[in-house]
Every structure is written in C-alpha cells, then in structure tokens.
Structure 1
Amino acid sequence: MSRGLPSPSIPFAVHGAVDEIELRSLGLSADDVTDFSASVNPFGPSPSVHEALRNVTLNRYPDRHCEALTRKVAEQHGVAIENVLVGNGASELLWLAALTILRPGDRALVLGPTYGEYVRACRIAEAEPVELRASESDRFRPDLASVAEDRASAVFLCNPNNPTGRLIPRDALADISSQRPDQTWIVDEAYQDYLASESSMICLEAPNILVVRSLTKAHALAALRVGYAIGPSGLIGAMREHQPPWSVNSMAQAAAVAALSDTAHLRATVDRLRREGGRMSDTLATGGWPILATDTPYFLVRVGDATGFRRELLGKGILVRDATSFGLPSWIRISPRRPKENDRFLAAMDDLR
C-alpha cells in the first residue's frame, strides 16, 4: 500500500519550553520568564562549543554526510559508522524511523504516558499508533509482558521516560525485545545522560533495536537541533534515504563534536543538576506536595488543576510543564535550574500551597 499526502487532521504534539506567541498575548517576553518546563541543562554547553562555533564558515554548505560528527558518535559508543545516522534533533530521527519501519495500516505500540511525537510520527506514516498506558496507581511502571504478546510491528519507548522520569532497566528491555525479533523497538534515550549511571540499549547491538539520542538536553544544544540514531546498518541506511539533504547545519555539527568531546563538563553539570533536582523534590515533598519518585533530575508534582496552576505560576514569571497533554491533568513537570532560580520557584510554590 502506498502513502498519500498526510492528513491535515493529524494534530500537532504539545511541547514545553517558551512559546513567544503565548507570552506576547500575556504582555510578557522570554526575558520575563524563568523556564522550568524544558529539561535542558541550565548550566549551558561546554565552553569548547562556543570556540567551535566561532570557527564555522557561514558561506559554505554543511557536510551532508556529517562525517566528523558521525565518526565521533561511532567512536564514543564503540560502533561502526554504518550504524550511525545524525539528524536534526531526535524528533527528525523519530519521524525517519516511523517512515522507514512502518507501512500504512501497521500497528505500533507507544508506551505511555509519553512524548507526543511518537503518535504523530506513526500517523504521518499512516500506521495505527496504540498507547499501552502505565497506570498512576502502579507508579507508571509499564506492563512489558503485554508488549511481547502484542501483534504490533514496532514499539516506541522513551527511556528514561518523559514525563515521569522512570527508567526501565536495560536487562528487562533486552529480555522482552529478544522475545519478538520481528518487532522493532525505537528507544528514545534523549534523557539518558541525566541518569546517575549509564543504562543505554546501544551496547546490546540487537538487530531489532534502534536507539535515538539527543544533544538538546544534557548537552544544552537546544537552539541548534542535533541528535543521532544508532541501529542496524540496513535500517540506518534506509532511514538515510528518507532524510532531506543538509538536514543538519554546520554550526550544529561543529557544536555537537565539541560537546561530545567534553565529557568532564557534561558529568560535572549533570551532577549539579541532579543534586538540585533532589533538593527541590525533597523540599516540595516536605511541604506537602505529592511527588513522583524519579530516576532523572526532572520530576512530576501533583497540583490538582495543572492548567490553572501553570497559569498562576506564569503570572509570577515561572513557566512549568502542564502535563495535561500527557493525559495527566493533575500534574506538572518540573525541570531544575540554577540554585537561585530554584529557590525562587520553591518560594512561589510555598505561596500557592
């Protein structure tokens, strides 16, 4: 079955971060708001990134093969360059994966609650996305046994999860995915660098697992849009055929190489961020706010009416992620920032208790 034009009824996914149009409607600017809604490293990228950007030639086309960055990723993860595809952020790679793996009418499982682009990518590919939703009563632990029993041809999983921050252990995923070699797993590890210890699926080098990573989050390159996928060479090659030319600009490529080369900066800033996340969640819990235990610096807080609560905080110049779009209308997601900014947030929460 061939694909037609995408349906105009496919809704856009809701995302966090600053929305300039929304702020302007409220008489605010981005400078008036402290953003706790996007899980981007607030300590910024490695200093070597700025130096790399200064050396980019702006009147020259980008390397369409992203050769230097591809080699850097392959070297860092101990894989062949044929197993790596660099993309314009994780979202582009997720779309390429859906368009490559799924045929019209295919069933795809999405382990929810989770990032909205998985469902959108499946619908663009004219596949049938089905959410297998973990329950709040079970602390959002997914039912992995049901996945292996499902007839779905693909599974989309964010690990650690967005928005819950929960991590499924690598051994558990390896066991389930090996039971169905005909089922392709697309594992989004955008938040993997925020974990206390590495738990990536990349090392498995399994024939039915595609891992997608982002440099937006812990590496703080959100403005540049760059990520990469690692998987079987045949799948990577097929995804490359769907990718537009010059998808990743020269500044993003140079910045990514520099960021990946500075592991000391990454670990130092992530350690600080994890401490701040722990301090914030402990303080809120002591103050009576229900907190969901997490494996990441970001975490969920139950506030009642999440949409109204977000609006109240925005009036105080604080932006949080309303989790209603994840199907969690009672929760907001908090991504820690620098200590003084976090103190301001905690004071605002105390005022609203």
Structure 2
Amino acid sequence: AEELAQAVRGLALHRYPDREAVELRARLAQAVGHEPEGTWVANGSNEILQQLLLAYGGAGRAVACFEPTYAMHARIAWTTGSEVLREELPPPWRLDAERLVRAAERAAVVFACSPNNPTGNAQDPEVLAEAARRAPGTLFVVDEAYVEFGGRSAAPLVRELPNLAVVRTFSKAFALAGARIGYCLAAPEVVEDLRRVRLPYHLSALTQAAGLVALRHRDEALAILDAVREQRDRISAALPELGVEAFPSEANFVLFRPPRPAAEVWRGLLDRGVLVRDFSTLVPGCLRVTAGTPEEVDRFLDALKEVLA
C-alpha cells in the first residue's frame, strides 16, 4: 500500500493517462510470456468481456454460454444486443470439442470458464484449441479469472490461434478487486478490434500505477496461493466426513451439496457468523465456500458441523 501511495504521489494527475497503457501492457506481457501487441488491459475483466462483445457480438449475432457458469457472460452479452444461447452442462461440467463446435455453428462468440465459476472444475486447453481450429470463424473466449489457483491455461495456445482469447483479472490471485484491473491475451488483431471499441483514456493513471506495483510483487502474490490451495483441499477432504458432497475444484473455492436444504444450511451458517454463497438456483442444492485462512476454515467447518448435527 505504501509503495502504491508513493507511485500515486509521483503521477501528473493534471494530465490525461497513457491511453495505450504501454508500460503496463509491456510489463504484463513480459510477466506472462506473451507479446505486448496481443496484451490488452481494462477496468476489470468485465470491461474486457464487454469490449470483446462490442467488437464481436452485438445485434444479429449470437453468444454461447455453458451453464452453470459466470453469470456476467450472458448478462454482458445481453447488454450488447447479442442473442444469448445457453446450454446446460451436466456434472462434472466438462466441455468437449464436439459440443463447442456445435455451439460455434450458431454463435459468433463462445465462452468457456476455466476454472469454472461456480463449479471449480478446469477445462482441457487442448479441447478448446481443437474447437477453435475447427471453427475459425468464431471467437472462443476463455475466462481464466481463477487460473492462478489451478488448472492449465489456454494462454500458450493463443499465438497459433487468432480466434482464441484468454481473459484474466487482478481481482483474485492478486487480491486487487478494488483496483479493477483485467487483461486479455489474444492475437494482435483482436487487440486492435478492442482498441476500436474502447472509450478514450479508458484506463486511469491510478489504475495503471496499481497494476505496475502489483506486477513488481507478482512472485510474492503467487507464492501465497499455495496456502490458499492447501485450505481449499482441506475443505474438500473434510466435507465428505460430514456427509456433504464436495465437487473437485481447481479454484479458490469449493462447491458443495449438504444433505439438508441449501437455504436452511446457508441460514444456519449465517447465524453462526459464516457467510457462504447460495448457488442452488444454478446447481440444485449447492452452496459455495471460499478458502480463507486456517482460522476461517476452522470456523466454517465447526459451524457446518453444528448446523448439520
């Protein structure tokens, strides 16, 4: 925080920011092993999604989403005037190339979330790449908001596939949700299309400064994730001992189905000072808990034990 404050004090805020965010994009590209020309930054990954849909979706075009998944994919598609094609995936919620290619026959944009929110499972990048090769006229967008916690990234495949774009965020692994920094790894021509639809000076000097400070501490931030994964795996192992179905997760959360009604368990946990997410409208009977500190996980498991007693 002090380093960020110092960086902000050095900014010339009476001037407009670098509209291309050249330094941030270059540093980010170097950090993730991509080319700066194919790296784009915006105010959170939601703005990246919006820009992609403004460029490739819109009136007269369709966008495919596989549910249960991140609700903003469909919501942002709707706001851009795109037709939203929803397809339900059964557990374990794994995509296959045939399903993706069928969706691409009708859709200009196909979304895949890996690791998926709220289920936590990761998709196979090679499956996504195969679909992109077989449907070159469709843009495949891989939302990797949680990829630092687990799963294989599709980013290395972007160089050979101009119709594959990877979207990530600083909100999860970097714990910078308040800074609103998201980025896209894609072909330079995709970034050029995003440049055409972005608002002028869309990324403030403050946001760019926050991103640069975060990148200087990237290795430290990623090292902390081992502790998060440890607590996630601890939750996954403990839940079945309480008679709770836990779904495998590569993210920083665990989706679980208690033996009693989800709403009842949610309320019981809340009454004991523990807040989890109720996803029973998307996945029947299921709640989702985020892996926190060891003490927070202790409190969650103890509270759940009481609720289910």
TM-score, length of structure 2 as denominator length: 0.91
Identify the match of residue 95 of structure 1 among 42, 47, 50: 50
Q: 1:115 matched to which residue of 2? A: 70
How far has the Cα of 1:263 moved from its partner?
Answer: 3.5
Higher relative contact order (CA 8 A, sep 6+): 1
- 2:4 maps to 1:52: yes
**1:243-293 superposed Cα distances (whole Å, 9 cap, x missing partner):** 223333333322222222334312321101000111122112112111011
Identify the match of residue 149 of structure 1 among 89, 95, 102: 102
Could you tell me whether the CA contact under 8 Å between 2:58 and 2:77 is conserved in 1?
Answer: no
How far has the Cα of 1:158 moved from its partner?
Answer: 0.8
- 2:304 maps to 1:352: no
Q: 1:256 matched to which residue of 2? A: 211
- 2:156 maps to 1:200: no
Taking the TM superposition and a 5 Å limit, the aligned residue runs for 1:232-271 are 232-271=187-226
How far has the Cα of 1:122 moved from its partner?
Answer: 1.3
Pick closer, same or farther for the CA change 1:313–1:78 going to 2, 3 Å: same
Q: Distance in 2 between matches of 1:169 and 1:142?
A: 8
Name whichever structure is richer in helix by fraction: 2
Q: 1:322 matched to which residue of 2? A: 278
SS in 2 for 1:318: coil
SS in 1 for 2:280: helix
Which has the higher mean CA deviation after the structures are superposed, 306-315 or 65-74?
306-315
Pick closer, same or farther for the CA change 1:104–1:273 going to 2, 3 Å: same
Structure 1 unaligned spans of 5+:
1-48
**1:126-166 superposed Cα distances (whole Å, 9 cap, x missing partner):** 11111222113xx2223431221231221011111111111
What is the RMSD computed on CA atoms of the aligned residues? 1.8
**1:197-254 superposed Cα distances (whole Å, 9 cap, x missing partner):** 6x22221121101111100000000111101112122221221222223333333322
Q: Distance in 2 between matches of 1:352 and 1:265?
A: 37
Q: Distance in 2 between matches of 1:68 and 1:251?
A: 13
Q: 2:267 matched to which residue of 1? A: 311
Could you tell me whether the CA contact under 8 Å between 1:110 and 1:119 is conserved in 2?
Answer: yes
Q: Distance in 1 between matches of 2:118 and 2:8?
A: 35
User: Runs of at least 4 residues of structure 1 off by over 4 A?
Assistant: none
Q: Distance in 1 between matches of 2:263 and 2:52?
A: 33
Q: Could you tell me which amino acid in structure 2 is paired with residue 301 of structure 1?
A: F
Identify the match of residue 38 of structure 2 among 83, 106, 126: 83
How far has the Cα of 1:330 moved from its partner?
Answer: 0.8
Pick closer, same or farther for the CA change 1:226–1:162 going to 2, 3 Å: same
Structure 2 unaligned spans of 5+:
none
Q: Could you tell me which amino acid in structure 2 is paired with residue 183 of structure 1?
A: T
Q: Distance in 2 between matches of 1:281 and 1:98?
A: 36
Q: 1:285 matched to which residue of 2? A: 240
Give the aligned length: 300
Taking the TM superposition and a 5 Å limit, the aligned residue runs for 1:3-14 are none
Which has the higher mean CA deviation after the structures are superposed, 97-106 or 142-151?
142-151
Q: Distance in 1 between matches of 2:293 and 2:70?
A: 25
- 2:59 maps to 1:104: yes
Which has the higher mean CA deviation after the structures are superposed, 75-84 or 277-286?
75-84
Q: Could you tell me which amino acid in structure 1 is paired with residue 3 of structure 2?
A: E
**1:107-129 superposed Cα distances (whole Å, 9 cap, x missing partner):** 22112210111101211121111
SS in 1 for 2:145: coil
Q: Distance in 2 between matches of 1:231 and 1:81?
A: 10
**1:160-189 superposed Cα distances (whole Å, 9 cap, x missing partner):** 111111111222221122111111101111
Q: 1:127 matched to which residue of 2? A: 82
TM-score, length of structure 1 as denominator length: 0.80
